[in-house]
Amino acid sequence: MNALRHTISIVALGTFQLGRRMKSQHLHGLLLGTGLGLSTIASVTYAQAEAAKVSRKLNVSKFMAEPITDSAVLLSDQDNMRHRMELMIMEIQADFCRALESEEFNGQKFKVDRWLRKEGGGGVTCVLQDGDVFEKAGVNVSVVTGSLPPAAVQQMRSRGKDLAENVKLPFFASGVSAVIHPRNPHVPTIHFNYRYFEVELPDGSKQWWFGGGTDLTPYYLDESDARHFHKTLKSACDEHNTSYYPKFKKWCDDYFHIKHRNESRGIGGIFFDDIDEPNQEGAFKFVTSCARAVIPSYLPLVQKHKNADYGTKEREWQLLRRGRYVEFNLIYDRGTKFGLYTPGARYESILMSLPLHARWEYMHEPKATSKEGDLLMVLRNPKEWV
C-alpha cells in the first residue's frame, strides 16, 4: 500500500508540474478523458516534457533562417559530424551578418533566402546590397547531398583522392562562404569559406575532409591592417598547431595567384583543403576556430576606414581591382567550378561573390611611385606579415 501511495504521489507531482505549464482546460481534458489510467498519464507527461526539452534546445531565432536539416534530426544525433557542422556554420553566418549590419549607417539589413534543392539539401543565402558601407555583401550556407558529377570526381582525383570513376558516389557537403565588397575603397574586401565533405565509396566506407580559409583583398595597402589580419589568423591556427599558419599562409598565396596576370588577388591569409588530421574532432575544432576568427580579423578594419575620404581616382582603381577578383573567381576558383558542375546548382548563390560593379581598362598600369603602385608591388611579390 505504501508503494502504491508513493507511485500515486510521483504521478500526481508530475501532473501538477505539467499543469503549471499547460492551460487549465487542456489539463482538465487530460485528467478526465475516458480510459486514462495512471501509467497513461505518466507516459503522456514524459513525452510532452521530452518534446518541450527538444524545442528549448535549438533556438532557431539565433540563426538567419531555419536550418536545412530538420531540427529534430539535428538534435537526435548531436555527435554526427554532419549535424555539428551544419549548426556551426549556421551560427557563423548569423554572427557575421549581424556584425556587418551593425556597421551600416541607416539600418540596412540582409535579405534572407532559404532555398531547397530537389536533388537533396539546400541552403540559406543572405545578401546585403546597396548599403552605405557595403555595396554588396553575400554570406551563404549550403548543406547539400547527391551524387558526384564526373567533372567533380576528376577534380578530386587530381588532388590525390582515391575515387573510382564511372561509379555512383554519393556525397554530402556543407559549408559557409562569404564575400564582402565595401563601398569605400579604403575598406578591403574579405572572403572566407569553411566546409566539410563526405563521399561514400562503393564498399560502403566513407572518405571525409575539411577545407577552408580566409583572405583579404585591399585596394590600398595599409601595413598595420595587414599585420592585424594575419596576426589574428595566426593566433587561431596556433591554438591547434604552430605549423599550420606558415603552411596555410603559403598555400593561400599560391592558390589565389592570378596566373595570366602574374599577380595575387590580394594580400593572402590562410587556405587549406583535404584536412583530415589529427582526427575528425580535432579537425572540426580547428575549422571552428578559424571561422570564429573572421569577425575580429575584419571588423576593426571596417570601423577604421569606412568614413575615410575618397574620390573618383580611388573609386576607379577599386573597380579595376574588382575586375581582377572576377577573373580569378570565374577562371580558377575550385569552389565556383564545383558548384557550377553540380546538378541542380543554384547559380544565384554560387555567383553571389561577384561585385555589383567592376572595370577593365586596356593595358592599365599605375605609376610605380603611386599608392596604387605600392599595392601592386606587394601583389606581385607576396610578403610575410607576422
Predicted confidence at residue 23, as pLDDT, reads 42
Q: Which three cell numbers stand for residue 81?
A: 559530424
State residue 155's pLDDT score: 80
pLDDT at 47: 54
Among 90, 94, 44, 99, which Cα is nearest to 71's? 90
C-alpha cell recorded at residue 322: 574588382
Q: If one looks up domain 58-380 in CATH, what number appears?
A: 3.40.1500.10
Question: 260 catalytic, yes or no?
Answer: no
* pTM of the predicted model as reported, rounded to 2 decimal places: 0.83
Contacts of 62 (CB under 8 A, 6+ apart): 91, 94
**pLDDT value at residue 52:** 52
The whole-number pLDDT of residue 31 equals 37
pLDDT averaged per 10 residues in sequence order, the chain, 386 residues: 44 42 42 42 51 64 96 91 97 98 96 94 96 97 91 82 85 96 98 96 92 98 98 98 98 97 97 96 98 98 98 98 95 82 78 92 95 97 96
Residue 158: the pLDDT is 82
- Reduce the secondary structure of the chain to three states and give it as a string: CHHHHHHHHHHHHHHHHHHHHCCHHHHHHHHHCCCCCHHHHHHHHHHHHHHHHHHHHCCHHHCCCCCCCCHHHHHHCCCCHHHHHHHHHHHHHHHHHHHHHCCCCCCCCCEEEEEECCCCEEEEEEEEECCCCEEEEEEEEEEEEEECCHHHHHHHHHCCCCCCCCCCCEEEEEEEEEEEEECCCCCCEEEEEEEEEEEECCCCCEEEEEEEEEEEECCCCCHHHHHHHHHHHHHHHHCCCCCHHHHHHHHHHHHCEECCCCEECCCCEEEEEEECCCCHHHHHHHHHHHHHCHHHHHHHHHHHHCCCCCCHHHHHHHHHHHHHHHHHHHHCCHHHHHHHHCCCCCHHHHHHHCCCCCCCCCCCCCCCCCHHHHHHHHHHCCCCCC
pLDDT of residue 340: 78
Looking at residue 160, its pLDDT comes to 79
Q: Which residues pair with 31 in a beta bridge?
A: none
Domain boundaries defined on the chain:
58-380
Q: Which of 83, 181, 186, 191 is catalytic?
A: 191
